[in-house]
Structure formats: C-alpha cells, structure tokens
Amino acid sequence: MISTVNQKSNKNQNLAMVIIGDRCIGCDACYVACKTDWDVPALKESYRTKVWEVEGEDNLGRPTISFLPVLCNHCQNAPCVTVCPTGASFQREEDGIVLVNSDMCIGCKACMIACPYDARYYDEQKKSVDKCTFCLPRLNNGLDPACVATCVGGSRNFGDISDSESSVSKLLENATSISRLKEDEGTLPNVYYITVND
Amino acid sequence: MQNAVGFVRPKHNNIWLILSCFIVLVGLYGVVQVFLHGQEESYGITREVPWGLLIIGYSFFVGITLGTAVVGALAHVFKIDSFNIMSKKLALVSVSSLIAGFFIIYWDLAGPYDLQVLRLVVYFAEFKITSPIWWLVVLYASELPLLAFEVYFLLSQKENSAFYASLIGTSLSIVAYGTMALVFDANSSRPLWHTSSFALFFIISAIAGGFGVVLVMIFLNNVTQKYKKSIIVLSKTLFFLLTFMLVIDFWNVVINSYSSDVLLGATMRLFIGKGVLAYNFYFYEIILGIILPMFLLLVGRFKSSVLAFISGILTIVGLFFSRYDAVIGGQLLSRPSESMKFVLHNYSVSASEISIFVGSIGVLFFVYFLGAKFFNLEESTL
Amino acid sequence: MSRHNITRRGFLKLAGATSIAGVTGVTGFPSPLHASMSESEKSSMFLKYDRGVLSPSFCEMCFWNCGVDVYTREGKIHKLEGNKFNPNNNGHLCAKGNSGIESTYDADRVQFPLIRTGKRGEGKFKKVSWDEAYQYIFDKLEPLIKEYGAQTLATFMHGTGEPHVHTLTKALGSPNIVVPAYSQCLGSRDMAWMFTFGTTPSGHEPFDMANSKHIILFGRNMAGAVQVREAEDFAQGIANGAKLTYIDPRLSESGVNATDWLQINPGTDLALALAFIHVILRDGLENIEFVSKYCYGYDKLVEHIKQYTPEWASKKCGIDAKTIERIAWSFAKDAPHVVAIPARRMTRYGNDVQTVRAIAIINALMGNWGVPGGIWVRSKVPVKLPEYEEPKQPSARRADGVGDGEAYPFAPPNLGRTNGMYEATLKQKPYPIKAWLVYDTNPIYHSSSGVNNILKAIKNLDIIIAIDTQFSDTVMYADVVLPESTYLERYDNPHIQSDKIPFIALREPAIKPIYDTKGCYDICKGIAQKFNIQRWFEHPPKDKINDLYGSLEADKAKELRQNGVVRFEDVDPYPIASGAEPKFNTSSKKIQLYVSDLEDMYQKNGDDFSPMPIYKDPPLPKDGEFRLLIGKTPRHTQARTQNNWILLELQDDSPVWMHPDDAKRLGFVDNQMVYIINSVTKVKSKYPEKLKVTNRIKSGNIFIHHGFGHRTKAWTRGYEKGTGDNFFVSEGVDPISGAAAFNNGFVKIVKALK
C-alpha cells in the first residue's frame, strides 16, 4: 500500500481522496473516527472532516437531499501554505499532503482565513492551527485514513492518483461524473467527488 | 535637569499617567481569563470567524500610527507649515499607537504565556516572502525603531535627521499599512476584501484618522488660539479625506452590487436592509464616522475648534467601525460547495476581547504619558 | 544613519542565531530557496503511529453487536476500529460505534454500588459496598417473593448481559422477563414474518440489498436506523444501480438516492401494499412456479385482493394509481432479484402485523426467497457448541398477557411485552407486581406507555433494582444501583449469530474496570448467592470462551484467536437459487399467504385478525392537531448514547419538523422555538424546541427524532437535550402482536416566547 515517507522512491505520489457521492449515507462515522484517532478537541467547531446534509428541490419543487463529506482538499496550489509566515503550514513534495507543524505555528490564523474550504481549526491544547493530515501517521503504518477505514457506505476511497493502476485511479476512470469543490479558486484540490450511477 | 539635546523633564501632572494605568488594568481581566481558561474560551472568535476584535483593534491602532505619521511627515518632509504643529507629540502618538497595536495582536497570537510569538523570529529565515504576514513582521519591526528615532531626533532638535527618519518612517508606515491591508485582500476567496480599492480605503481612512487625532489634540492641549490657521487647513483636509472615503464606500456598494460574484452579492446584503452589519455600516461607519463629521466641519466653516474636535473624535470612532465591518464582513458568510446556500456565521465580541481592546487603548495612553513625563514635548517657539 | 544599519543587522543576527537549521550567516543573505527547515524535519512529527495492544470485542453502543478491534496504548483505550472479519460490519463502524470509548471514559458513569437515600427520582444515593447492595436486595425482595410469589418480580433487560439476568430471574422463579425490542420495536414485524415464512427478519435483516435490482423500503430508514452491514449492503445495492422506492411521509436520509419517493399518508402502508399485490395478481406478474410450489393460500388471496385496486388505494394513501402500477410492474420485472422491506420499528399504527403480512406476501409472490438480491436464508453455526444447564421456565402465568390462553397467544414468552408489564404494574393485575429488576434499559422516560403512567406505576413497586453502566433516567429512580463495567472492561459470553455467514465473535476486556464496577455475570451471581441459587452461576463468560475453544476444530480455534471472530462460510444462503429444498417452519410448512393460525381469533374478534390482511383506516388527527411521527437519527441509540460528547456534537437536539404550509397557516417561521402539547393528556414539553420548516415532511404531520430529552441530572452533558417523544406518542397496541403503536399520537404545536 502506502510505504513510508523515508523511501525516496515514492517521491512522485499524488495522494488523493475519491468520494463516491452515491454511497454516502450521512452516518457521520468519519467525523467520530477522525476525532477519536487524533484527539481533536471536544468542541463542535473542532473537526477535520464532517458531512453536510444538503437540502434542495427538484424541478417539480419536491425536496431532495444529498450528503457532502468535506475535509482538507490538500490542494496542489494551497493558499494556506502561501500565507503562512513561519512555514508551519507546508506541503510535502513527495505526496502532496498539506500539514501544519504545530511547533512552528504562531496562531495568526491567516491560513484559516485563506482556506476557501474552512478546513482548519485552532487547537488550544496544541496552541496551533490544526487540520486533516490524510492520516499520514496511519499511512506510514500501512493503514488507510481513519475516515476511509470506517466509511460504512464505502463512499471514501484513498490512494495515489498518479498510479494509473490504483483503485482511486480506476474509480476516476469509471466515474459517471467527476467534480472538485470550488475549482474556480484555482486551488487544484486533491479531493474528488464522483458518481457511479447516472 | 536640562541637557544639550533638550530633554527637559517638564513639570508634569502624574494624574494622566495613573489614569492610563487604570485603563491598562481593564485589560487585565481578559489577560487573566486567557491565563485561566485559554483563548478559545475567552474570545468570541470561531473556526469560521477566526479574526475578531483583537485583529480589528490591531488594524485600528496601526492605522492611527499611519495617520499621525503622515500628518507629521507633511510637516517635516513637505514643509507645510500649517501641519507643523505638535510634531513631537504626534510622533509620540504614532509610536504609542504602534506599541498598542503590538500589544493587542500579541494577545491574539497563540501562546501569549509561552512567548510563542518568538517563533516569528526563530522561523524568520524561512523567508516566506509569499506571506503578507511575514512582510508585515519585517515592515513593522523596522518601523518601530524608525519612528522611535524620529521622536529622538525631534527631541534632540536634529532637524535633518528627523527629516530622514520621518520620510523613511512614514513611507514605511504606508507600505506596512498597505501590507496589512494585503493580509486581508490577498485572500482571493473573500471578495469583499479582494478588491483594488481595499488597501486604498484602508490607507485613506487611516490618514483621516490621523487628522482626527491632530484636531483632538489641538483642542485637548488648549492651543486652539495658537493654531487657528492650522485648524482651518486641517479641517479642510479632513473634510476632503472624508469625501474621498464616502466616494470609495459608495462606489464599493455600487460596484459590488453589479458583481457577478455570488458570495460578494450575499455579503453586500449583510450591509443593507436587515443585514447583520447594516446598522454598523450605516449608522457608525457612514453617518457617525463620515457624514456627521463632514456636516459639523461645514457648520463650523472649518473654523470651529470645538466642532473640529468632535469631528476628530467621530472620525476616529468611524475608523474603528469601518475596520470592524470590513474584517467581520469578510468572514461571516461561507459555504462548503457551490451547490449549497451560504451559511451565516455569528461573531459576538466577548468580554475578554473588549477588555483587552480597552487595555490596549490604555497602553497607548500609558506610553504617551510616560513619554510626556520624561521628555519635553512642548514646541519650541518658532 | 548608521544606527539604522546596526538595527537591521542586529535583527538578522538574532534571526540567524535562533533559527533551527543554518541560515548561511549574518553577512550573506540566505536564499529563500534554502528554507531553514527541511520538509522531512517538518514532517517528522507525523511519522509515528503506535497502534497499541489489540483486544477483540463486539460493539455495545446499540444492540446489533458489530465486531470491534479495541486498541489500547499504555492502559488507555485509544481507538476502536471495525473488525474486518465480523460479518455484521466488515471492518466498518458507525458514528455510535466509533464513539464507544467515551462510554467508558465518561465520569458521569455509575462508579460504585448505590442505595437510594432521597425520594425516588431525586437522585440522592449513598455509596455502599457490593455486599451491602446485595443484602439490601435480598432483604427487600425475599419478603415480597414470600408474600406474592416470585412472579411479583418483573425483569426488563436489553444488552449482552441478558442471559445472566434471564437465568437469575428464572432461578428466582419469575416468568416475567421483558425485552423492549419486542413491544417497542420489532415485535409486530417479527410476528408477521413468522406467520408468513416461519422465521423472523430480527435485527440482522436477511435482505440481500447488495445484489438487489429493486429495493422497496416501506418506511425502513436504512441510513438513519443504522445497522452497519445493512447500510453497507444498501449503499452497495445503490452503487450497483438498484432502483430504490422509498415510502415514507418524511424524506429521511434513506431517500437520498431514491428512484421514487412516495410521500404516503401515514398509516396507509397496508393500502399501498395491498394495491401492489392487486396489480401483481391482476396482471399475472407473480412467480407462479415458485408460488405454486412453496406458497399456501394462493387462491384465497387472489379472491381477497380483488377489492384493493390501485384506484382505491390511491384515495387512501395519496399516491396516484398510475405510480402504484408503474412501480409494481417495474418491481416485478426485476424479480426475483428484488426485495420489499418493512420498517424495522414496526410499532406504528396498530395494524402493523397485517401491514408487514402484506409486505411479506409481496416478497413471496416475487419468489425472492433464498435467491440473490432477495431474502437470504440464515444458517446456524455448524458446530456442536457447549451447553449449560438452565433453570426451568417458571410455571406461573405471565403478567403481560403473553402465552397460551392469554390475550396475545402468539407473542414470544422469552421477550414479553414491556407495555403489558407497565400496565400490570400500574393496575397490579392480573397479580401484584412489586419489584422491578432493570438491566441496561430505560423504561422510565423512554417507554411505550406514556411517562405519566409509568411514574404512577412505579409507585406500586417496593423495590427497583437497576444494573447499568450509566446513570439513565431509570437509574435515578432506582432503589439500589449495581454498576456494570462497560463492554470495553468486561468479558461476555461469546456472540453466536445465525446468519448468511454464521459466526462467533469474542469480547475480552481491553482494560481493567476504571471504577468499582463488575460484569453483569458477577452482579447476577452476587444476587444469586444471597438467595442461595448460585448453582446456576458456575460458568463465567471467560470459562465459556475457553469451553468454546475446546469445541472448535484446531483451524477454527486458531481463526477465532487471531481474528476475534470465526466465520463459517460453508453454508448456502441461496438454497432456492442453488436448487435445494427450503424448509418453512410454519404450520402449513409452506410460505403462508393465508394464515390459518389466525382463523380462530378472526372468528372471535373480527377483521383485525383476518388470515389475509384487511385494510382499516388509521385514526386521524382532529383539526388543529398534528400526527407525531418519530424516527431514528444515525447519531444516537437511545439513552445509552445521550451523554456522549462526540455524539452530542453531532446532534444535541431534536427539532420539530413541520411542512411550510402548516407553518404558514400557524404563522410559524423556520428556527423559531415551539412547544409540543399532547392532545390527550395535555402534557406540554418541558422546554421549547426549535422548529424546522421543511417540505420533507408531509403536511399535517410533525416529526421529531426519537431518543432525546433525558431528565437524569447526573448527566453533565446529556441532561434535557432535545425533546423526548415519550410524552407524546400514542399508547396503542397491535391486537395480534400486543406490541405498541406509537404513531397515532396527536399533538398541538404552540409558539414559545423567545
């Protein structure tokens, strides 16, 4: 699966999450798995991932709902990294993961402002801004990210999209639709939303 | 004691110094709250609105620094006699306000009790030149000594040095303040901030605030007779600046209303009708902060020192609210995806934040009166 | 001027000196390309992940026992993961399951044995030793048993420790064992299925949605009332392109991917189901080969169903006849790989057994039994398991009307009727009920019988004994409280499940009990010792696990030891597809379209007991009243998750859903605060609740989530969060099953001043 970061041979991974919209049932398992694994503070506004319930209407005025799981998009062009004054927010060249080194953060929160996805929160215990790490520590242990591992509907999928043989590449290849959030922002997100049904 | 460079210890009433100490003490409440409960619980800021009153306060105080520095520079650099009044005091206000700004932002940054701000120094060599805040650190770290030198040169009556210090210091102030505006308007995902007029408005309104401060100081120092002429010029300049601000505000509303950006459209609705910022915007920022002072200045035909004084105060209050509206307005709305409605977030100022803001005003006064206690700030008769 | 230079240099020097990795120096201006911290240095804090020690377990956050891998670091549980080998969840956990750690590390737990000192419900207790608690129980219960007989004890239970409480109750001599899952949830559905197929869908439903081509959900909220395996299969089916017909007056989370959402009039599912059958039989869409081979009563059904045309049903359920026909045709076209699924909590309108009967008949006519995409057939664990002697079933008649010659002869005596037991306690009939033993369930404030009646009923009790991990509302009213260790701290009997893939799962403690608590087995044994009946408690769960290992073949024992689960895959869930002969454990040994078992009662009591479903209109709300509909949220199981901070972050309220037309008529707006008033009892909700104005609910009805509104002050987080439905649901009973009917509760909604 995902090998350790120390192995230089894996330098050109492009890690991404592929979320199958038709499979999300809005159970919020991901939210809890993530919070417990990373000791995310016990606050409603502290989370690394969550699921929005999107209410709408169809052409006939009948209600519709859908679910939108959100997390850090690990943007290729990450505005949070650009604005960070100390380099605490940074992006790994080898796989594209965007991280916050809590020992370098001064808590100016410019990154929280810059992120178009509201993916970051301030962690009072760490005295640092914090965020989704794509579960890098778990990846180094050969595990899937916590939210992916627990995803009841099999909506969340994770892997290297630069490897055309990976399961996520296959998903993208066979999807009936592919989108990313707020592409207009030019952030080049690495979280893909696909559907598999028409 | 009097020495060659004219550092005169004037007879000084300590009452102002003591009073400002008390105002500083108000800030103690918030500072203690942060110590006991942490910033998260003490401040009203949230995940969605991470910049609150302390950042607003910072942008306000460094705005006063810019404004007062510019008025001083107009005197030293451009030798405009009408502005050449109380230059020492103004320079001191400039420095004091900058220190107040540093004080208030210190409490906004993480780990104030761990001196975590020093990480800015430790990781300075990361050279994050893409980060407006990195530049902000560079610029303000340079500005403070420059402004301090200016005070020193003025006190030591080194006109030439004071000229250069003021020239460089004020230029730096403008660049620094523009950079501070950039901290906001570099965020392309926040259209309220991401406009070309944003920095301009910030700078103009700060300069107007500087003129407000001068008019207030003339009145409070009881030198209205002496500076009769200056009051007229200062008032007219302030009037002009306020007109300029009004035009920018007006055009912003108009242009933004034509914008195709849905977030901007939704944000503008916060400022009109029953929007959550409408009262702030129309009453405090526009009526109280711009139209009323303009009206009063006109009524007094730019001659009335009392009306100029009131206008000055109103301009300063308006400056604060314009910062509040801009900073908060840019954060209140967001949505996870284009297919969803905007979510309106809430920001309510906490007691701790207010206390630290008041405390920062105290810091401004304290530094100023401390200076006044040790230095002779009275003008030498020209 | 020179000073300026010094300042600048001094500043850089400071920066250089304190910077972690070398700036090239004071004199050289370091290039931004050589950032001082390397990327790998910055990443270093993200490289380690200590999984810790693994203990096998299964979940207790709800009742369906998904497999859990418990990871412990230095004596503290760090993370729960789904067990990949457990067929109940295949490695996944829901939100509740993931939050299970907090059930253990919740300081609001019952931490030691308690005896009540204040008034009941006041929450005043004294800390006592275990022996004092057992002695107290003996001193109080023994005289009652002597005076009224052992049947004066009624035992309520829900949880993995059930067998021990069962044994204890039987050993004491009382037949009055009640499990709320029957009367308050599955009872009517299981009974209807039993009549039709001779087996129950139970909690681990045998609906093969993953392979289905068309799924009809009759109010079954697959995504809201989550059981992980079912939710997985549901998502898989949808992803495979299955059609989904979702029937519900409310658009729940299960309607997300519905091909058709039929916003039916509440209480009329039977009319719709009968019309489906009508179309199927009228147009010859049934699998006649299957029906003639395996079904009983076909000719009677053909005659009976003629009256229930789609046009007729359309008037009842508000769904136009064309749609009914279209869906019936589409469904039959994909047969037999189709499945029609009744609601899980089928305690709704008092016609629930008959409604599920009609749904069962739809399935039977499609011939989907034992076929992929239809209904699979469960197999038992194919191993001779160790057996242990149990006390005999006490001979006394039950107090809740369950059993031969009683009002509910078909209801299972091992489950009983909670609502019947409340009534018996209230009326002290047919004989005095003077003692309650409550294990891990919360009859007070969470009941089918209306809270007011319960509070009256418990005044008749001389002792309430509670065994629980946490301070539920019932624990607050108990006289003596025996704290149970949580599922992460205790051994339990092996979990043995007959299923598509039968399996056995183990639960071993991940940590020692944090507080002075015991497993349910030890608690029951402690009580038994006082009554001198401890001979029924000679096999603690740990020994039973060892015995189990002994009865398994070596490779299976190894599998169990390694995985915490042993699976028996060599079974056939699709016997009909593979040509085997299925057996039906009904009285006719066939699938019963016509239930002759009901004939006697039909003769005596009329249409409600008809061997083939007869439609009857549900009661309707009066003008100005709303029907209260309730349902599950995926974020909470009832009381047992309501003090869990993570789950409260996800949901800590139960907004009142109302249709925009109704809101407009009443002058209500979205998000305003309202009260609910019970039209019968006039009870008003204690505190206001937020209104959610949405066209996801059918006009004339309101909806709130079930499980909220607890009044136990021992909870620092869950106290009075959301409005409880228990004050407002109806007290009806299904005449056949005796299970409750909640959805005929009518309420008024009034504005709350801010």
Looking at CA atoms only, how far is residue A9 from chain B in angstroms? 27
Helix (H, G, I), strand (E, B) or coil at C707: coil
Crossing angle between the packed helical segments B305-329 and B53-76, to the nearest 10 degrees: 140
B47: contact with A, CB 8 A cutoff: yes
- Domain assignment of residue B2, yes or no: no
Instruction: Please check whether residue C145 is in contact with residue C176, taking contact to mean a CB–CB distance below 8 angstroms.
Output: no
pLDDT at position C14, please? 37
The arithmetic mean of pLDDT across residues C698-703, rounded, is 97
What percent of chain C is modeled with pLDDT above 90? Answer: 88
Q: How many CB pairs under 8 A join B and C?
A: 41
Asked if the ipTM is above 0.95, the reply is no
B39: contact with A, CB 8 A cutoff: yes
Could you tell me which chains touch chain A, where touching means 3 or more CB pairs under 8 A?
A: B, C
pLDDT at position A10, please? 53
A88: contact with B, CB 8 A cutoff: yes
Q: What are phi and psi of C263, to 5 degrees?
A: -85, 85
Task: Give pLDDT tens digits for C47-67.
Answer: 889 999 999 999 999 999 999
CB contacts of C254 in chain A (<8 Å) are 25
CB contacts of A61 in chain C (<8 Å) are 695
Q: Which of residues 53-112 of A touch C (CB under 8 A)?
A: 53, 55, 57, 61-67, 87, 90, 92-94, 99, 101-104
Give the Cα separation of C552 and C533 in Å (integer). Answer: 31
Residue C15 domain boundaries = 2-37
Looking at CA atoms only, how far is residue A183 from chain B in angstroms? 9
Out of B39, B51, B131, name the one closest to residue A83 (CB).
B131
Task: Give pLDDT tens digits for C471-506.
Answer: 999 999 999 999 999 999 999 999 999 999 999 999
Q: Which of C571, C547, C570 is nearest to C557 (CA)?
A: C547
- Domain assignment of residue C631, yes or no: yes
A180: contact with B, CB 8 A cutoff: no
- Domain assignment of residue B10, yes or no: no
Beta bridge partners of A20: A194
Please determine, for residue A7, whether its predicted confidence score (pLDDT) is greater than 60: no
CB contacts of C695 in chain A (<8 Å) are 57, 61-63
The confidence band for A126, taking pLDDT boundaries of 50, 70 and 90, is very high
Give the Cα separation of C318 and C589 in Å (integer). Answer: 37
pLDDT at position B14, please? 85
Label each residue of A136-164 as H, E or C. HHHHHCCCCCHHHHHCCCCCEEEEECCCC
pLDDT at position C11, please? 36
B252: contact with A, CB 8 A cutoff: no
Please determine, for residue C30, whether its predicted confidence score (pLDDT) is greater than 70: no
- Domain assignment of residue C233, yes or no: yes
Task: Flag if C99 and A36 touch (Cβ within 8 Å).
Answer: yes
Counting as low any pLDDT under 50, the low residues of chain B are: 1-6, 381-382
Q: Which of residues 26-85 of C touch B (CB under 8 A)?
A: 30-32, 35-37
pLDDT at position C25, please? 33
CA triple A74-A76-A79, angle to 5 deg: 80
Nearest residue of chain B to residue A56 (CA atoms): B340
Tokens 């100016």 locate to A108
The arithmetic mean of pLDDT across residues C641-647, rounded, is 95
Task: Give pLDDT tens digits for C647-669.
Answer: 999 999 999 999 999 999 999 99
- Domain assignment of residue C478, yes or no: no
Crossing angle between the packed helical segments B197-220 and B228-258, to the nearest 10 degrees: 150
Out of A103, A140, A152, name the one closest to residue C228 (CB).
A152
Q: What is the CATH number of the domain that holds B181?
A: 1.20.1630.10
pLDDT at position B375, please? 84
Nearest residue of chain A to residue B332 (CA atoms): A113
The arithmetic mean of pLDDT across residues C275-280, rounded, is 98
Helix (H, G, I), strand (E, B) or coil at C339: strand
Task: Give pLDDT tens digits for C375-414.
Answer: 999 999 999 999 999 999 999 999 999 998 999 999 999 9
Q: What is the average pLDDT value for chain C, to the nearest integer? A: 92
Beta bridge partners of B117: none
- Domain assignment of residue C394, yes or no: no
Tokens in use for C389?
Answer: 């002697």
pLDDT at position B51, please? 97
Most confident range (mean pLDDT) of B221-225, B231-235, C11-15, C608-612 is C608-612
A68: contact with B, CB 8 A cutoff: yes
Task: Flag if A86 and B128 touch (Cβ within 8 Å).
Answer: yes
Give the Cα separation of B130 and B140 in Å (integer). Answer: 17
Nearest residue of chain B to residue A73 (CA atoms): B336
Please determine, for residue C5, whether its predicted confidence score (pLDDT) is greater than 80: no
The confidence band for C16, taking pLDDT boundaries of 50, 70 and 90, is very low
The confidence band for C26, taking pLDDT boundaries of 50, 70 and 90, is very low
Tokens in use for C544?
Answer: 């039973």
What percent of chain A is modeled with pLDDT above 90? Answer: 92
Looking at CA atoms only, how far is residue A81 from chain C in angstroms? 13
pLDDT at position A2, please? 40
Residue B73 domain boundaries = 15-333+341-374
What's the DSSP call for residue B291?
A: I
Crossing angle between the packed helical segments C321-333 and C269-282, to the nearest 10 degrees: 60
pLDDT at position C745, please? 93
The arithmetic mean of pLDDT across residues C704-723, rounded, is 92
Task: Flag if C236 and A154 touch (Cβ within 8 Å).
Answer: yes
The arithmetic mean of pLDDT across residues C271-298, rounded, is 97
- Domain assignment of residue C550, yes or no: no
Give the Cα separation of B253 and B262 in Å (integer). Answer: 14
Q: Give the count of domains, chain C.
A: 3
Residue B370 CB neighbour total at 10 angstroms: 16
CB contacts of C253 in chain A (<8 Å) are 25-26, 53, 65, 67
Out of B119, B126, B187, name the one closest to residue A113 (CB).
B187
Out of B122, B127, B161, name the one closest to residue C30 (CB).
B127
CB contacts of A47 in chain C (<8 Å) are 649
Task: Give pLDDT tens digits for B166-184.
Answer: 889 899 999 999 999 999 9
Q: What is the CATH number of the domain that holds C702?
A: 2.40.40.20
CB contacts of C231 in chain A (<8 Å) are 25, 27, 152-153
Helix (H) or strand (E) holding C5: helix C2-18
Give the Cα separation of B217 and A175 in Å (integer). Answer: 69
Crossing angle between the packed helical segments C554-563 and C541-551, to the nearest 10 degrees: 140
Could you tell me which chains touch chain B, where touching means 3 or more CB pairs under 8 A?
A: A, C
The confidence band for C9, taking pLDDT boundaries of 50, 70 and 90, is very low
pLDDT at position C3, please? 34
Give the Cα separation of C357 and C339 in Å (integer). Answer: 14
Q: Which of residues 307-336 of B touch A (CB under 8 A)?
A: 331, 334, 336
What's the DSSP call for residue B342?
A: P
Looking at CA atoms only, how far is residue C21 from chain A in angstroms? 13
The arithmetic mean of pLDDT across residues A162-182, rounded, is 96
- Domain assignment of residue C579, yes or no: no
pLDDT at position B379, please? 66
Nearest residue of chain B to residue A53 (CA atoms): B340
Instruction: Please check whether residue A48 is in contact with residue A31, taking contact to mean a CB–CB distance below 8 angstroms.
Output: no
What's the DSSP call for residue C379?
A: B
Tokens in use for B176?
Answer: 């620094």
pLDDT at position C728, please? 92
Tokens in use for B207?
Answer: 């300069």
Q: What are phi and psi of C543, to 5 degrees?
A: -65, -35
pLDDT at position B380, please? 55
- Domain assignment of residue B117, yes or no: yes
- Domain assignment of residue C708, yes or no: yes
Q: Which of C215, C225, C581 is nearest to C377 (CA)?
A: C581
Task: Flag if C35 and B126 touch (Cβ within 8 Å).
Answer: yes
- CATH among 3.30.70.20, 3.30.70.3270, 3.40.50.300, 1.10.287.1770 for A8-195: 3.30.70.20
